[in-house]
C-alpha cells in the first residue's frame, strides 16, 4: 500500500474544487511544513471561524488567569499544564499533523515550563494581554511554528471539524460519523490510520507564523514608519537579557521592560500578514504531487526483488526514473523558486527537502507495486539517512539525496554515506546529487566537479555516485 496520496485524489475530487472551497490540497503521508498563523486564523471571514477570535481569547485568558494564581494551588498548576501540553491535533490534512495518532504532545512539558516561566515574568511587570502566549515563540526555545500552529488548531478544533463537514457536504464527499469531544461530525476517514481528516483553509497558512520569527516581525514592521520606529527600540537579545535579569531588576528596569513589551504587542497587533501563495509556492511543496501523478504511467514494476542484487537494480530503476522526471519531463522547473511574476529564479533552488520529497513520492509508487519496504522521515531529511529500501532484515539499500549547492558535498560522500551504510547495516548505498548550480565559465571547477573527480580516484565499495542534471536551459525558441 502506498504511503502517500494527494488529498483531492483520495477524496475523489479535484484540486480546483477543493481550492474553490478554500481547502489546502495536501499530500497525506508527508510533512508540508506550512503552519497556521494565529493572525490569519482570527481575522478570517469563513463562516465557521466567525467567532474563533473569542474562543482563542477566552482560552488564553483562562490560561493566564489560572497561571497567575497557580503558585499556591497544585490544582491550578495542573490545569495550566494540561492547557499547554495539548495532544497534536488528529487528522490535520497538512502533513505534520499526520503523526498525531502517536499520542504525542504539541508542546513538551519542559517547553511548557519555560513558557510559564516567561509568562510569569511578563505578568509580573504588569502585562496581561492574552496575545503574549502567541508571541512567546520569540523567546522560548522549542516553542516554534509547529507548536503555535498546533495549539491554535487545538483550541479551535471544533471550528475546523465544522468547516470540514460543510465542505464535504457541499462537494458530496464520502464521510463517516466520528465522535469528537462528545459531539458528532461527519468527516472523511484518514487513509493511513484509524482517524478522521480535518481540512485546513489555505488562507490560514504561512511558511512561518509572525509569532515565531523575529525576521518576520522585522520584515513586516519595516514597511510601516510608526512600527519601524517602535521596533528600533526592540531587539531579541535585549529582550532576552531583560528576561534573564527581571526577577532581580529594580522598578526602573521593570518599567522599561513593560514599555518595550507593550510596544512589541502593539507591533504584533498592527502587522498585516498574507497567506501562503499556492501559485507561487515559494516552499516548493504544493506542485510536487500533481507532477508525480502526471508521470504515474511511467512507474511500472513487474515483481518484488528476490535478492540483494535485484534490489540494487530495483533502486537503480527508481533513481533512473527520478532522473528522467527531472531532466526530460519538466521536473527541474519544480526545483527552483519563482519571482513574484512567476518566472523561475535559476540561481535560487529550493531547500533540499523538496528534492528529497520528489524522490520519496516516486519511490513510494514503485515500492507499493513491488512490496518493498520504504523508510524515510516523513519530512524527508530529518533522520540519519534520507531513505532506506529493503526486502528483508539483511537486504537493505540506502539512498542519500543532495543538491550540488550543499556545503558538505564531498565530505558527505567521503564520510557520511559510509557511516550510514555501517550504522544501518546496508548492503549498498546510492549518493544522488542533483546539479542546480551553473558554472560561471567553462574553466570553473565546481564542488560537483571535485566530487566526481574524488569519486573516480577514491571508489568506495558498495557506494555509487549518481549525478542528475537539474539545470534550467533556454527553450528552443530562445536558443
Residue that finishes a domain, picked among 212, 241, 270: 270
The conformation of residue 333, written as its DSSP 8-state character, comes to G
Q: In this predicted structure, what is the pLDDT of residue 378?
A: 35
**pLDDT attached to residue 361:** 94
Q: Is residue 475 part of a domain?
A: no
DSSP string over 95-139: GGGGGGGG--BSS-HHHHHHHHHHHHHHHHTT---TTHHHHGGGT
Strand segments, DSSP code E, in 358-404 are 373-376, 387-392, 395-403
- For residue 382, being part of any structural domain is answered with yes
CA distances from 156 to 54, 58, 77, 114, 289 (A): 10, 11, 23, 24, 29
Pair (461, 359) in one structural domain: yes
Question: In whole angstroms, what is the distance from residue 274 CA to residue 283 CA?
Answer: 15
Contact residues for 431 (Cβ-Cβ < 8 A; gap 6+): 400, 402, 412, 413, 417, 463, 464, 465, 466
- Give pLDDT, residue 129: 82
Nearest in space to 150 (alpha carbons), one of 103, 100, 197: 100
Please tell me whether residues 101 and 182 are part of one structural domain: yes
255 and 403 both lie in a single domain: no
pLDDT digits (tens), the chain, 479 positions: 788 999 999 999 999 999 999 999 999 988 788 999 999 999 899 999 999 999 999 999 899 889 888 888 888 888 988 898 888 888 887 754 444 334 456 788 888 888 888 888 778 777 778 788 888 888 788 888 888 999 999 999 999 999 999 999 999 999 999 999 889 999 999 998 888 999 999 999 999 888 888 788 888 777 777 676 666 656 545 555 555 566 666 777 778 777 878 888 888 888 888 999 999 999 999 999 999 999 888 888 878 999 999 999 999 999 999 999 999 999 999 999 999 888 999 889 999 999 999 999 999 999 999 999 998 753 443 344 589 999 988 899 999 999 999 888 999 999 988 888 888 889 999 999 999 998 888 888 899 999 999 999 999 999 999 999 999 986 554 43
**132: CB partners within 8 A, 6+ apart:** 64, 119, 122, 261, 265
Q: Does residue 456 lie within any of the structural domains?
A: yes
The reply to whether 266 and 297 lie within a common domain is no
| Cβ pair 48, 163 in contact under 8 A | yes
- What pLDDT does 295 receive? 87
Q: How far apart are CA 152 and CA 137, in angstroms?
A: 13
Please tell me whether residues 246 and 104 are part of one structural domain: yes
Same domain for 263 and 346, yes or no, is no
pLDDT, residue 133, reads 82
C-alpha to C-alpha distance for 463 and 323, rounded to whole angstroms? 18
- pLDDT of 233 reads 59
Map grid coordinates 486564523 to a residue: 41
Q: Report the predicted TM-score, pTM, of the whole model to 2 decimal places.
A: 0.88
CA 457 from chain centre, in angstroms, equals 39
Task: Say how far apart CA 53 and CA 39 lie, in whole Å.
Answer: 9
Residues 195 and 298 in one domain: no
* Same domain? 294 vs 388: yes
Of 99, 100, 91, nearest in space to 199 by CA = 91
Compute the distance between CA of residue 159 and CA of residue 146 in angstroms, rounded to an integer. Answer: 19
Contact residues for 209 (Cβ-Cβ < 8 A; gap 6+): 35, 36, 37, 38, 39, 137, 145, 148, 149, 216
User: Of 239, 270, 301, which residue constitutes the final position of a domain?
Assistant: 270
Q: Give the whole-angstrom CA distance, residue 236 versus residue 228.
A: 15
Segments forming the whole domain that contains residue 213: 5-270
In a domain, 474, yes or no: no
Residues 303 and 375 in one domain: yes
Alpha-carbon distances, residue 294 vs 27, 70, 468 (angstroms) = 15, 57, 20
One DSSP character per residue, 192-224 reads SSSSB-B--BGGGEESS-GGG-HHHHHHHHTTS
- Given 220, 237, 270, the domain boundary residue is 270
Residue 276 counted as domain residue: no
Establish if 477 belongs to a structural domain. Answer: no
- For residue 294, being part of any structural domain is answered with yes
Q: Is residue 280 part of a domain?
A: no
Do both 77 and 161 map to the same domain? Answer: yes
| Long-range contacts formed by 244-252: CB under 8 A, 24+ apart | 246/121, 246/124, 246/125, 247/121
Q: Are residues 190 and 301 in the same domain?
A: no
| Residue 344: strand, helix, or coil | strand
Burial class (CB in 10 A: 0-12, 13-18, 19+), 130: middle
If one counts the domains in the chain, the total is 2
| Class of residue 306 by CB neighbours under 10 A (exposed 0-12, middle 13-18, buried 19+) | exposed
Q: Are 303 and 399 found together in one domain?
A: yes
Helix ranges (H only) for 386-477 are 409-411, 417-423, 447-457
Amino acid at each position: 500500500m502506498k504511503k502517500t496520496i494527494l488529498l483531492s485524489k483520495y477524496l475523489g475530487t479535484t484540486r480546483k474544487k477543493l481550492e474553490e472551497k478554500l481547502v489546502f490540497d495536501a499530500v497525506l503521508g508527508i510533512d508540508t511544513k506550512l503552519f497556521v498563523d494565529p493572525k490569519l486564523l482570527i481575522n478570517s471571514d469563513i463562516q465557521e471561524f466567525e467567532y474563533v477570535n473569542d474562543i482563542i481569547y477566552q482560552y488564553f485568558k483562562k490560561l493566564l488567569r489560572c497561571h497567575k494564581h497557580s503558585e499556591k494551588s497544585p490544582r491550578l498548576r495542573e490545569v495550566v499544564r494540561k492547557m499547554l501540553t495539548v495532544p497534536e491535533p488528529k487528522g490535520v490534512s497538512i502533513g505534520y499533523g499526520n503523526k498525531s495518532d502517536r499520542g504525542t504532545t504539541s508542546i513538551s512539558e519542559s517547553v511548557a515550563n519555560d513558557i510559564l516561566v516567561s509568562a510569569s515574568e511578563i505578568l509580573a511587570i504588569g502585562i496581561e494581554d492574552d496575545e503574549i502566549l502567541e508571541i512567546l515563540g520569540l523567546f522560548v526555545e522549542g516553542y516554534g511554528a509547529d507548536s503555535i500552529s498546533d495549539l491554535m488548531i487545538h483550541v479551535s478544533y471544533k471550528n475546523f471539524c465544522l468547516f470540514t463537514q460543510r465542505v464535504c457536504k457541499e462537494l458530496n464527499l464520502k464521510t463517516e460519523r466520528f465522535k469528537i469531544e462528545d459531539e458528532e461530525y461527519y468527516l472523511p476517514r484518514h487513509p493511513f490510520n484509524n482517524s478522521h481528516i480535518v481540512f485546513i483553509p489555505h488562507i490560514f497558512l504561512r511558511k512561518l507564523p509572525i509569532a515565531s520569527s523575529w525576521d518576520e516581525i522585522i520584515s513586516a514592521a519595516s514597511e510601516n514608519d510608526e512600527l519601524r520606529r517602535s521596533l528600533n527600540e526592540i531587539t531579541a537579545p535585549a529582550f532576552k537579557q531583560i528576561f534573564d535579569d527581571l526577577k532581580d531588576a529594580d522598578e526602573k528596569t521593570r518599567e522599561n521592560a513593560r514599555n518595550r513589551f507593550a510596544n512589541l504587542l502593539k507591533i504584533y497587533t498592527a502587522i498585516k500578514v498574507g497567506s501562503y501563495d499556492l501559485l507561487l509556492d515559494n516552499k516548493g511543496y504544493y506542485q510536487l504531487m500533481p507532477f508525480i501523478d502526471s508521470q504515474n504511467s511511467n512507474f511500472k514494476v513487474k515483481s518484488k526483488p528476490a535478492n540483494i542484487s535485484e534490489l540494487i537494480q530495483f533502486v537503480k530503476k527508481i533513481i533512473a526514473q527520478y532522473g528522467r522526471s527531472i531532466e526530460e519531463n519538466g521536473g527541474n522547473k519544480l526545483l527552483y523558486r519563482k519571482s513574484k511574476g512567476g518566472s523561475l529564479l535559476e540561481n535560487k533552488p529550493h531547500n533540499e527537502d523538496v528534492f528529497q520529497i520528489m524522490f520519496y513520492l516516486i519511490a513510494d509508487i514503485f515500492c507499493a507495486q513491488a512490496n518493498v519496504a520504504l523508510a524515510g522521515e516523513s519530512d524527508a531529511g530529518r533522520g540519519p539517512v534520507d531513505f532506506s529500501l529493503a526486502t528483508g532484515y539483511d537486504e537493505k539499500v540506502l539512498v542519500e539525496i543532495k543538491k550540488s549547492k550543499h556545503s558538505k558535498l564531498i565530505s558527505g560522500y567521503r564520510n557520511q554515506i559510509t557511516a550510514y551504510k555501517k550504522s544501518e547495516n546496508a548492503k549498498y548505498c546510492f549518493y544522488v546529487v542533483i546539479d542546480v548550480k551553473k558554472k560561471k565559465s567553462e574553466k570553473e571547477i565546481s564542488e560537483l566537479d571535485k566530487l566526481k573527480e574524488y569519486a573516480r580516484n577514491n571508489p568506495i565499495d558498495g557506494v555509487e555516485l549518481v549525478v542528475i542534471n537539474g539545470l534550467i536551459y533556454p527553450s528552443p525558441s530562445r536558443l
